[in-house]
């Protein structure tokens, strides 16, 4: 994967990286949204639970006060005190009082009533249907209480939950105790009304449904919120709030949608900005540099060309280094070219350069139907100079001859132009040292053979003037062989061979200039 990425362009790599970042941010947004959603739901559930707890506490307290009121009313009645010791009459009284209070409006749904004496001995009781006293621990609670006061508890009896209250009658030193138990269903119904959510209540230790709201089935997108109801630090029931989550989920999904949309927009904006900035500061300048390198690779003449890039600091440093390097390479290349194509003694082009130039000239002349002359010069008696004055003197003479060759040929070509009205390209006149005492000349755009032979004859006079060295005069006289393109040869070797033969002929015939046809038959001697 990473090796594949290495082959990508910077632009593609950057786009891939930004898209990956965008994807990561999108995933993070999804995760954050779901966490946010979960937190909202948790908060909502906690809030609902605390509301349920508070409401249940308030309603059960009201029920406790109501039961205490009923107990006190019964216990403080004159009749109650009068018949207290008569079990039968007391039971009758309880049954009448039960009939009076159990069906009243409000929270009380009385299921049993019992009376105890001040020793907690049961004096009489009355219960509805199959009910009995469910909370038998209240007497124990009253016994442990420092000052006699109302004791309450919530207990389960079969498929019902009852709220039980034990109240002291007769003040702080009670004469009797009245215990009343009430079904909790009215409390739950009131709770449901207060919190405005349908509820289902189950027993804590089994799946018995104690209370089920009639409105439960009206909720379409129901999501139960489980809650354990405590009374006096004891678990008493499992309560499920039937909450309609449709609106909440709709709102949450809408918010999540906007967040994701925002993230996508920001990612796209970030990608665009990164692409723009990197394209401007990194990719563009890098491409410019790469193009320049390709250009130099194709054409060495472009070595040394300076480029200007605007980008990051590193890119600018790279461009500066590139410019310095290409300048250095250009200098090195020029030096190498000079060394490879020039004769170090006379500073004239060497045989290799002549060959290249001759090939070029043949190609150009063939395309444009021009003719040109190749002249080969060989110094006569140069060996004697070397033998007499030494090689260093010989080298000196060769340098002087080369200088004369360059200046004379330019002048002679100028004369040729003015006399014949033919425009020669003086710049294309080419003098080279072939080696030892042998030189060559390339004369382009010559009018005819005769004019070139006469030009060479004049040239011979110029270069043959005596050279004074260490007080002595010496004359360096060359023999010149001339070959004309395309008459004497249409390719390099034939032309060269022809000029060479003409030079030998000139030397043999007695120090002068000789021209030759391509067949080497007719030689003209100047």
Partner 1 sequence: MSSLRWLLIINLLCVSVAFAHKKPIITPEHVDGITTVHAQKLAKLMLKDKKLIVIDARVMKGRKKGFIENSYHLPDIETNCASLQKLIPRLNNPVVFYCSSNTCGRSLNAVQIAKRCGYSHLYWFRGGFKEWKSEGYAYKK
By the 8 A CB rule, do 513 and 507 touch? no
We find the least distance from the C-beta atom of residue 32 to partner 1, in angstroms, to be 46
CA 367/CA 247 separation, integer angstroms: 90
Closest to partner 1 by CB, 72 or 194? 72
Among 38, 149, 254, 301, binds partner 1 (CB under 8 A): 149
118 binds partner 1 (CB under 8 A): no
Size of the site for partner 1 (CB under 8 A): 22
Pairing of strands 151-157, 160-169: antiparallel
We find the least distance from the C-beta atom of residue 168 to partner 1, in angstroms, to be 4
| Nearest Cα residue to 501 out of 375, 398, 401 | 375
We find the least distance from the C-beta atom of residue 61 to partner 1, in angstroms, to be 8
We find the least distance from the C-beta atom of residue 76 to partner 1, in angstroms, to be 5
Closest to partner 1 by CB, 127 or 169? 169
526 binds partner 1 (CB under 8 A): no
Q: How far lies 152's CA from each of 134, 230, 391, in Å?
A: 12, 13, 138
Task: Respond yes or no on whether the N-terminal peptide bond of residue 430 is cis (omega within 30° of 0).
Answer: no
Nearest-5° angle of CA 466, CA 469, CA 472? 70
Positions in 282-311 near partner 1 (CB under 8 A): none
What is the DSSP secondary-structure string of 103-125? T-SSS--EEEEEEEETT--EEEE
We find the least distance from the C-beta atom of residue 135 to partner 1, in angstroms, to be 15
Closest to partner 1 by CB, 145 or 320? 145
Q: How far lies 56's CA from each of 230, 248, 342, 427, in Å?
A: 9, 25, 112, 115
By the 8 A CB rule, do 138 and 154 touch? no
x/- mask, partner 1, residues 16-55, rule CB under 8 A, reads ----------------------------------------
Which residue pairs, CB below 8 angstroms and at least 24 apart, start in 144-153?
Answer: 147/172, 148/172, 148/173, 148/174, 150/64, 150/68, 152/60, 152/64, 152/67, 152/232, 153/231, 153/232
Among 130, 147, 313, 367, binds partner 1 (CB under 8 A): 147
Among 148, 198, 394, 515, binds partner 1 (CB under 8 A): 148
Q: Residue 179 is inside which H or E element, if any? A: strand 176-183
CA 230/CA 204 separation, integer angstroms: 10
Closest to partner 1 by CB, 170 or 224? 170
We find the least distance from the C-beta atom of residue 95 to partner 1, in angstroms, to be 21
Ranges of beta strands (E only) in 185-233 are 199-203, 209-212, 222-231
Closest to partner 1 by CB, 174 or 349? 174
Closest to partner 1 by CB, 61 or 383? 61
We find the least distance from the C-beta atom of residue 173 to partner 1, in angstroms, to be 8
1 binds partner 1 (CB under 8 A): no
x/- mask, partner 1, residues 52-91, rule CB under 8 A, reads ---------x--xx--xx--xx--x---------------
Closest to partner 1 by CB, 1 or 78? 78
What are the structure tokens assigned to 204, written together?
């804590």
Q: At residue 148, what are phi and psi to the nearest 5 degrees?
A: -60, 125
SS3 (DSSP) at 223: strand
Q: At residue 430, what are phi and psi to the nearest 5 degrees?
A: -135, 125
We find the least distance from the C-beta atom of residue 106 to partner 1, in angstroms, to be 16
Closest to partner 1 by CB, 135 or 239? 135
Closest to partner 1 by CB, 146 or 205? 146
Per DSSP, helices labelled H in 342-479 are 351-368, 382-389, 391-420, 449-463
Positions in 150-179 near partner 1 (CB under 8 A): 150-152, 167-174
Closest to partner 1 by CB, 65 or 352? 65
Interacting span for partner 1 (CB under 8 A) from 47-55, 143-151, 372-380, 483-491: 143-151
452 binds partner 1 (CB under 8 A): no
Closest to partner 1 by CB, 171 or 471? 171
CA 460/CA 507 separation, integer angstroms: 13
Q: Which residues bind partner 1 (CB under 8 A)?
A: 61, 64-65, 68-69, 72-73, 76, 147-152, 167-174
């Amino acid at each position: 994967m990473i090796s594949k990425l290495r082959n990508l362009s910077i632009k593609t790599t950057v786009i891939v990286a930004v898209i990956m970042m965008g994807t990561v941010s999108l995933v993070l947004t999804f995760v954050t949204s779901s966490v946010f959603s979960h937190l909202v739901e948790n908060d909502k559930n906690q809030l609902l639970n605390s509301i349920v707890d508070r409401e249940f506490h308030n309603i059960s307290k009201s029920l406790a006060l109501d039961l205490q009121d009923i107990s006190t009313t019964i216990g403080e009645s004159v009749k109650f005190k009068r018949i207290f010791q008569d079990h039968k009459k007391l039971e009758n009284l309880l049954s009448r009082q039960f009939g009076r209070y159990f069906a009243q409006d409000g929270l009380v749904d009385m299921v049993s009533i019992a009376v105890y004496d001040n020793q907690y001995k049961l004096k009489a009781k009355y219960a509805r249907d199959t009910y009995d006293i469910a909370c038998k621990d209240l007497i124990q609670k009253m016994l442990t209480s420092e000052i006699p006061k109302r004791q309450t508890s919530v207990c389960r009896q079969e498929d019902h939950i009852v709220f039980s209250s034990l109240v002291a009658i007769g003040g702080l030193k009670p004469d009797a105790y009245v215990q009343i138990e009430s079904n909790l269903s009215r409390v739950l119904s009131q709770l449901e009304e207060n919190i405005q959510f349908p509820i289902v209540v189950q027993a804590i230790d089994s799946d018995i449904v104690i209370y089920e709201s009639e409105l439960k089935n009206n909720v379409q997108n129901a999501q139960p919120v489980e809650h354990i109801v405590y009374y006096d630090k004891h678990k008493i029931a499992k309560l499920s709030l039937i909450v309609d989550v449709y609106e909440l989920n709709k709102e949450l999904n809408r918010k999540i949608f906007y967040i994701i949309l925002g993230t996508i927009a920001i990612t796209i904006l970030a990608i665009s900005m990164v692409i723009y900035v990197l394209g401007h500061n990194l990719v563009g300048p890098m491409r410019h540099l790469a193009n320049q390198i390709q250009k130099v690779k194709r054409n060495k003449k472009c070595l040394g060309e300076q480029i200007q890039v605007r980008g990051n600091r590193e890119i600018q440093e790279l461009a500066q280094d590139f410019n310095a390097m290409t300048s250095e390479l250009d200098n090195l290349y020029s030096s190498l070219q000079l060394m490879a194509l020039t004769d170090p003694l006379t500073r004239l082009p060497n045989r290799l350069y002549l060959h290249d130039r001759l090939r070029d000239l043949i190609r150009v002349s063939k395309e444009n139907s021009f003719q040109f002359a190749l002249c080969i010069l060989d110094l006569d008696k140069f060996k004697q100079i070397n033998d007499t004055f030494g090689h260093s003197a010989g080298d000196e003479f060769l340098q002087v001859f080369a200088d004369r060759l360059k200046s004379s040929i330019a002048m002679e070509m100028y004369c040729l132009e003015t006399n014949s009205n033919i425009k020669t390209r003086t710049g294309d006149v080419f003098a080279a040292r072939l080696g030892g005492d042998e030189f060559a000349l390339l004369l382009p755009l010559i009018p005819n053979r005769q004019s070139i032979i006469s030009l060479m004859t004049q040239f011979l006079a110029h270069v043959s003037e005596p050279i004074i060295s260490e007080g002595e005069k010496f004359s360096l006289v060359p023999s010149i062989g001339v070959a004309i393109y395309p008459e004497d040869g249409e390719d390099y070797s034939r032309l060269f061979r022809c000029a060479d033969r003409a030079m030998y002929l000139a030397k043999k015939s007695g120090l002068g200039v000789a021209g030759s046809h391509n067949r080497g038959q007719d030689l003209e001697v100047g």
